[in-house]
Chain A
Amino acid sequence: MPLIEARGIVKRYGGELALRGVDFDLHAGEIHALLGENGAGKSTLIKILAGVVARDAGELTLGTHRMPAHFLPAAVREAGVAFVHQDLGLLDHLSVAENIALAVGYQRRAGLISFRATEEAARRSLDELGVDVDPRAEVGSLRQDEKVMVAVARAFATHARTVVLDEVSSSLPAPDVAQLAQALRNSRASGVGYVYVTHRLDEVFSLADRLTVLRDGQLVATSATGETDYDQVVEWIVGESAVEATRQVARRRQLVPSAQGLSVSNLQVSPDAAPITFQIAGGEIVGLCGLVGCGARDVAAALGGARKPLEGHADLNGQRLPLGAPRALRERGCFYVPGDRQAEGGIIGMSIRENLFLISDGAGAGAGFIRRTGRERHASLELAQRLDVRPRDDVDRALYELSGGNQQKVVVGRSIRSQPQLIVLDDPTAGVDLGARAKLHEIIAAAADAGAAVLMASTDFEEVATEADRVLVMVRGRINIELKGDAVTPERLAHESYARAEVGAQGAAG
């Protein structure tokens, strides 16, 4: 009997279909990978399983429970389904046994907590799953893959026999992924079934028994891992037709070669990333893409001044850049558009005008004394028009009153207003509607045409393929390949991003 049986699941958000009749099942003792790009419908399906979102149509059976259209997360727990998310929900300063006890209750003797009995209970759960972790160990001292297994053991101790692992590996270094794959495969003997959500294809081939691919809310394929291959799965994920369509609109700019520009040497941002070296000419847009966690975002943060690199340096027009010092970078004409607009981009309590002129540009608007009716007002009105910020002609409106796309236009506008030399963008159009997206791309291209070197870090292959002159694909902290000209297609970028990492592949053999 399957642990999960979903038939024809439909979910509609407003007018848009997020899931168009998806089937999915999971058997006891199976690891079933769920794959698809961002927005393919993976997270919607997971939310429906979790009871967070109600389905519009379709049948769902969890274990022996036929689930009604509306049900609560508590009913899911009762049906023996547990969820382990990326943050794991463990308390680092408590022991493994205590973390498990927090879910199932402490063992007691004469009304008092018995730590020995609590440890024994934890040990039984760990043993049944074949997990080799000391229940007395403090969780904070464990490797990340061991922590995942502790989270699994905690779910198992609450009698969960279906565990949904939601991108638990995206922050794991490759050797730990191999260890995790081994531990998960060992634990299948206990009868636990896993739904394994991930972006990393290589680990799917090393640990999953079956895989299901979603695209645009549709089920593309469900297959035993052994009966398909790597290239086939990438094609399922990316889709052939979409590739053809975007290739036609791909923008190919006429580049004026320039000796000026950015030169990055041996830049290392995090301990498990490699030092990387690359150049961007003035007027050139270089894409830096890869899967979530590939390190592209870290490189952007370092060049933008949000993170101090561990090693290496960057030169702009022959001058060493003060990485790690945002103010000094801005004064050199280097601007950064952070990926997290809410937390790091706009100041939502301040007006459009104030956000555009947060810091003085020396001579012109925003300098010294500010006259509200003066130069700054004219400059911001003009800028807002150029950026097509809606509502129009009202630059004193607070940022929080704007849509996400318009907020982002303001954040990007701040970096293009005074002859930028370098613009570093991190997922500049994430969560932005199509109209604003096109406008943002236009603004960025215009800045490049005016001579700025542009680095666009993005997990959106289509965006990078259409907007960048040249693309560096990152895989696990390294630049895997450089692509330019006609080689830059979303399909090729996806292929290169999903490239197998050597260590991860070894897990399959072990």
Chain B
Amino acid sequence: MNAPNAEVADSKRRVVAIGPLLGRYALVVVFVAIIGLFTALRPSTFATLGNAQAIASTQAVVALLALAATMPLVVGAFDVSIGYQLGLSQTLCAGLSIQSGWPIGLSALVAVAACVAVGTVNGLLVTRLRLNSFICTLGVGILVLGLTELYGNDNTISGPLPSFFTGLGRNTVADVPLPFVYVIVAALLLWVGLEYTAWGRECHATGGNRRAALLAGVRTDTVTMQAFVIAGALSGISGVLSVSILGAAAPTVGLGSLLPAFAAAFLGATAIRTGRFNALGTILAVYLLATGITGLQLLGAQFYVQDLFNGGALIIALTLSALVGRSRGRGET
């Protein structure tokens, strides 16, 4: 059996060699190329400060949600309830403030706390009952949607909000939209936590090989639990942020962002820290996709180009990274 094994190992090594070629910055290069392309094609509409600001702030909610998706993925779990959590947070934040007259600060806090609670439930189901994370967060998510509809009566909630609150979503500092600032702050926090602390090491180890990590002394259940809670908090914050940007809420609005968020998290794993889910890669992917879509729309593409582009980019990126990552799945003996 040695001979065929050696052959497989050889071909693997050749494939692995594509890794550095693809490189941690390949996605950055693609991003720059996209910007260059559309700047050349539509210099007057694409390459403007206004357009850059619009992309930066409209994508902030998806970006935060993509960070929420990334956290459980790092520890090897799915949380598909984050889209529904976004809807819950939005509805609670807007509803409590507009319909019940609560102070906006308190409404926002309750909205985020509710999502943290949902994240805690997810974490408990996955770590204590050993449920499959994908299926169980799907169940929890649908449940959350039901509760959201129960509370919000399935209506869009809109009304007057304090201007300082909407300002948090619409103003800029030094021409940088505030929502983009929040995204960068959240991404940097996650990046440092995951890449430069012992805690992050344990998270990556858990996602890399849960059994081996557990036996090496990694607190696999603890970090898994924490990942779901952080995902909940980020989903909650993205919900509050979307209320401050839109000034309104609807229970199902988060669902549209769920799949792009996951697409960005997976696409992001092909960059910066190749083969690993990482916060900077995720953010890079969110904005790369949004920039590409905006450019195509400025060229006259119809609304459906968004889904075609998101899906196509993800499949291409996954195919490339699977060619690189195939060797990781099995390793060599």
Give me the interface of A with B, judged by CB distance under 8 Å.
Answer: 13-14, 16, 53, 304-306, 326-327, 329-331, 336, 338, 341-350, 354, 357-360, 366-372, 398-404, 407, 414, 431
Contact = CB atoms under 8 A, between A and B. Distances in A.
B215 to A, nearest CB: 5
B198 A367 contact: yes
**B197, B201, B202, B215: residue with the most chain A Cβ atoms closer than 10 Å:** B215
B216 A401 contact: no
Contacts of A371: 196
A345 B212 contact: yes
Interface in B185-236: 196-198, 201-202, 204-205, 208-209, 211-219
Given A367-B198, A370-B196, A370-B197, A346 B215 contact: no
Contact of B211 (A304, A344, A358): A344
B198 A330 contact: no
B129 interface: no
A370 to B, nearest CB: 5
A400 to B, nearest CB: 4
22 contacts: A13-B2, A327-B217, A338-B212, A341-B333, A342-B331, A344-B212, A348-B331, A349-B209, A349-B275, A349-B276, A357-B201, A358-B201, A358-B202, A358-B213, A358-B217, A359-B202, A360-B201, A366-B198, A366-B201, A372-B196, A400-B327, A400-B328
Contacts of B214: 326
Q: Indicate the member of B3, B6, B332 with the most A CB atoms within 10 Å.
A: B332
Given A14-B3, A326-B217, A400-B332, A368 B202 contact: no
B217 A331 contact: yes
B16 interface: yes
B1 interface: yes
Contacts of A358: 201-202, 205, 213, 216-218
B331 A370 contact: no
Contact of B216 (A369, A403, A407, A414): A414
B217 A350 contact: no
B198 A329 contact: no
A95 to B, nearest CB: 29
A418 B107 CA distance: 50
Nearest to A353: B201
B18 to A, nearest CB: 14
Contacts of B6: 14
Given A354-B201, A366-B198, A369-B197, A359 B216 contact: yes
Given A13-B2, A347-B208, A306 B215 contact: yes
Given A358-B217, A369-B197, A370-B196, 15 more contacts: A327-B218, A329-B217, A345-B212, A349-B209, A358-B201, A358-B216, A359-B216, A359-B217, A360-B198, A360-B201, A368-B197, A400-B328, A401-B16, A404-B332, A414-B216
B198 A400 contact: no
Contacts, number: 104
Tell me what chain B mostly uses at the interface: helix, strand, loop, or mixed.
helix
Contacts of A338: 212, 215
Nearest to B208: A347
Contact of B212 (A13, A327, A346, A403): A346
A400 B331 contact: yes
Nearest to A348: B331
Contacts of B219: 327
Contacts of A354: 201, 204-205
A404 B6 CA distance: 13
Contacts of A359: 198, 201-202, 216-218
Q: From B202, B211, B219, B330, name the one whose CB has the most chain A CB atoms within 10 angstroms.
A: B211
Contacts of B332: 400-404
Contacts of A404: 332-333
Contacts of A402: 332
A326 B204 CA distance: 18
B287 to A, nearest CB: 26
A368 B198 contact: yes
B213 A398 contact: no
B124 to A, nearest CB: 19
A371 B197 CA distance: 9
Interface string B128-161: 0000000000000000000000000000000000
Contacts of A357: 201
A53 B1 contact: yes
A344 B332 CA distance: 14
Closest 7 pairs (CB-CB, A-B): A330-B217, A360-B198, A348-B331, A347-B208, A400-B331, A404-B333, A13-B2
